[in-house]
Amino acid sequence: MERLQAAIIDDDAEILDLIEQILKEEGVEARRFSQAEDCLASLTATTFDIIISDLVLPGKSGLELLNEIKSGAKDIPFVLITGYASLDSAIEAVNKGAFYYIKKPFNIEEIRFVISRLKQRKATLREMDTLKSQVKILSAKLENNGGEPEVPKAPVSPLNLIQQSTDVNKALTAIDYLGRLKSDGFISEKEFGEYKGRILKRII
């Protein structure tokens, strides 16, 4: 699995040392910066999975860095480290799209929690990409087979639907029917997702 890449920005070398060590223990490679401008310049050639920045920096502040990254349409999770006196700035950062903020003095577990959230986010995005690919495959198969699937008129057990869904038309029919069962309250949203996933596995 590809290692995550992080940019960490602080003008305090000891803080950078601490964050870098925590990230290393979590399997994340870190690139250190003492100024926001240096991090911005690196983004022309480097893509980071996360940026962790102090609020108060020489030159551009961490909040200004967040604004420039968002205005440049870069979707990079951004974590702002702020003191208690700057809590309003942290709230402003979250409102502007920051991934998370950490109050000083922070502890090791807070950094680990952020990385855990980041990994969950990336896993969710990968799952969404997989589902989008499956939809494209289903659409292509349906187009090749031609015609619209018929919706069953008689009630059918979800488990029977899964067993019968061996081609794309039957699969789409089954998924449509399951959607009706969910809308009518016969199955839950979770059950609908599980049944649909099992159907897709039979034909893809």
Residue 26's pLDDT band (cuts 50, 70, 90): very high
Range list of H helices, 55-107: 62-71, 87-95
Q: What span, in angstroms and rounded, lies between the C-alpha atoms of 62 and 182?
A: 46
User: Which domains does the chain carry?
Assistant: 4-124 (3.40.50.2300), 147-203 (no CATH)
Peptide bond before residue 105 is cis, with ω within 30 degrees of 0: yes
Q: Return the percentage of the chain with pLDDT > 70, whole number.
A: 73
**Phi and psi dihedrals of 48, rounded to 5?**
-105, 150
Q: Report whether pLDDT(151) > 50.
A: no
Residue 87's pLDDT band (cuts 50, 70, 90): low
- Total-model pTM: 0.63
